[in-house]
Structure 1
Amino acid sequence: MREDIEFRTEDGVTLRGWHHAPDDGPADTRRPLVVMAHGFSAVKEMFLDDFADHFAAGGLGVLVYDNRNLGGSDGEPRGEIDPWQQVRDYRTAITWAQTQPWCDPDRIGIWGSSYSGGHVLVVGAIDRRVRCVVSQVPLVSGLANARRLIRADQFADLRAMFDADRAARYAGKPPEMMQVTWEKDPAEVCALPTADTSEFFFGPIQERASTWRNEVTLRSVEMFVEYEPGAYIADIAPTPLMVVVAAQDHLTVADLTLEYYERARHPKELLVLPVGHFEAYTGEAFARSAPAQLDWFRRYLT
């Protein structure tokens, strides 16, 4: 069973999403809970409901919400993606969930994918209320990943754009905006310049995710470059960590994730899928990955 929910952050922003409850009992029964949000600019309708439904069918409650400034959640400016604010919002979601009659406050896990896959590495390391972590195709190093996505001769130009935007904002102008991904021409300036990113956001998923917008603030990209969530990975233990890697991932590149996974301490588990970044959400990869993730959560939350 799924119900719409909303909760307020400490700074007064309303975040909206869903609570998925298992069908094998009253909706207000206290259950283990998985808290989840999506990646860079993405909204909850982009396959998070499939993961939530699978986890709920396995006996877990799931709290899914849109990140602030995106989708159904409030927040200004629209399209602003501050990774550290999103980390704080994960922790607020946990705090709010602990007050609800359907949540066992002592059995909370967190799930993240792509950008939020990095967030859960941070939250899992600093918030000991978290009992279990699943990080799917995560960003582990903003700078190293940006250097893979952006040609070296274009990186200086990007930094000049950051500086110009900072000066303009200081002068009172609104933040500059940038496309998330290219729509028609691979030469278009955008934050995530891979072909599979464009195919994902402009493919059939648009019918499910009408609230998604192909723009973010330029400073969101600057904050992406500065964000190093993998630095926290060794500090997650003794909280159990599962990392899901897409072997053909060239958005949050697989070799970087595997390198950082080696720094994590046990208990940990690695699942490698023979697919690209966005294929991890659907098809055979989902059919293999979602049950493994459910088993991981059930092992440590039930």
Structure 2
Amino acid sequence: MKHVTFKNRLWDVAADIRLPKDFDERRKYPAIICAHPISSCKEQTSGAIYAEQLTAQGFITLAFDASTQGASGGEPRYSEDPSVRVEDFRCAVDYLVTLPWVDEERIGVLGVCGGGGYAVNAAMTERRIKAVGTVVAANYGRIMRAGDMSADAALNTLEAIGRQRTAEARGADPLLVTYIPNSQAEREQAGVADVDVVEAVDYYKTPRGQQPGSPNRLRFTSVAPALGWDAFHLAERLLTQPLHIVIGGGTPGAFGSFRDGFELFDRARSADKTLQVVEGATHYDLYDQPGPVAAALERLVPFFRKHL
């Protein structure tokens, strides 16, 4: 593994590139861009799990930190702006096509959770991506619009963002909020028992998955663009690349990757598309648990070999 950077606009995006065993720089290899979930970083599931195992199967992989997050540059920090996140993918392709040992006609993408939604969206307008794989892909725009599930959740959030922007314009400090509770005790105190939230805390806030590049911080005002964004918008017209979708068949949680998987499958124009349900697996089981991850890769590896 080698630490590299590539440009998005004026800043550096930090990434880890992994080369297959017995790598020969005289050859041309297929490459897969691996995208992390919302609030995550390249040292977690996208890099340490999926990129690592795909590289072991002969693919070059590139796992990157989203702009404004992790080790990547960009301001304002801890933003989650879909347009910037999607541009990261295009810039990742720009970087890969400069490498003489990457076959530019065999570049694919694999996104996990929110990274899966972004991967799908990027592939619609980035034709250099030839195959798309997703693991528990989630539509970040839909999640943010749902909010607390009240009828006017999105409108109420936008009103609050407007007030916060006014305060910051007048000199107030930026408001940084958390994605999830910082501990199970904090979650219990809040009265939240949803399986996705319980397992998110276990993954992100314990030694199981905790990493410095994933500090559970979100710049509140950056939520506004997401509220008007749909990861799957125009999939029925523009998403034509081969597509393999992996979702968990265990208890569905609030983040909605189970329903998003079926929606994406139905909407994608791709002539070659498959939906894999890993029975008994929850959303976070497919981040790092050996059995569910192995089941996902059992289908993802031949999918990428066929199309890359």
TM-score (norm 1): 0.89
Identify the residue that residue 292 of structure 2 maps to in structure 1.
285
Which string of whole-angstrom CA distances, capped at 9 and with x for unpartnered residues, describes residues 67-114 of structure 1? 111111112222111111110111011011100123111110011111
Query: Structure 1 residues 293, 226: CA separation in 2 closer, same or farther (over 3 Å shift)?
Result: same
Find the aligned partners of 1:157 and 1:34 in 2 and give their Cα distance. Answer: 39
- The 5-angstrom pairing of residues 106-125 of structure 1 reads 106-125=105-124
Once structures 1 and 2 are overlaid, which stretch shifts more, 34-43 or 158-167? 158-167
The change in CA–CA distance for 1:90 and 1:296 in structure 2 (over 3 A counts) is: same
Unaligned regions of 5+ residues in structure 2, if any?
Answer: none
**d(CA) in 1 for partners of 2:151, 2:241:** 41
Aligned length: 296
Which one-letter code corresponds to 2:286 in the other structure? A
Structure 1 residue ranges, 4+ long, deviating more than 4 angstroms after superposition:
187-190
**What letter corresponds to residue 294 of structure 1 in structure 2?**
V
For the residues of structure 2 that align with 1:151 and 1:263, how far apart are their CA atoms? 24
Gaps of 5+ in 1: none
- Aligned partner of 1:211 among 205, 210, 213: 213
User: 1:176, CA displacement in angstroms?
Assistant: 1.7
SS class of match (2:43): coil
Aligned partner letter, 1:3: K
Whether the 8 Å CA contact 1:67–1:73 is kept in 2: the answer is: yes
Q: CA deviation at 1:59?
A: 1.3
Q: Which amino acid aligns with 2:200?
A: T
Does the 8 Å CA contact 1:237/1:267 hold for their aligned counterparts? no
Q: Quote the Cα distance in structure 2 between the aligned partners of 1:65 and 1:219.
A: 24
Note the C-alpha offset of 1:148: 4.9
CA displacement, residues 113-164 of structure 1 (integer Å, 9 cap, x when unaligned): 1111111111211111111001221123623x34555141782653432221
Percent identical residues: 22
1:260-280 residue CA offsets vs partner (Å, 9 max, x unmatched): 321223210111123221111
Deviations 1:267-298 (A, max 9, x none): 10111123221111222110110231111111
The alignment partner of 2:233 has SS state of helix
The normalised TM-score by structure 2 is: 0.87
Find the residue that maps to 1:130 and give its secondary structure: coil
| Aligned equivalent of 2:303 | 296
- C-alpha contact (below 8 Å) 1:233/1:261 kept by paired residues: no
Q: Name 1:3's counterpart in structure 2.
A: 2
In 2 relative to 1, CA 236–153 (structure 1 residues): closer, same or farther, beyond 3 Å? closer
Q: Note the 1:65-80 alignment, pairs <5 A.
A: 65-80=64-79
Report what 2:264 is aligned to.
260
| Whole-Å separation in 1 of the counterparts to 2:126 and 2:239 | 11
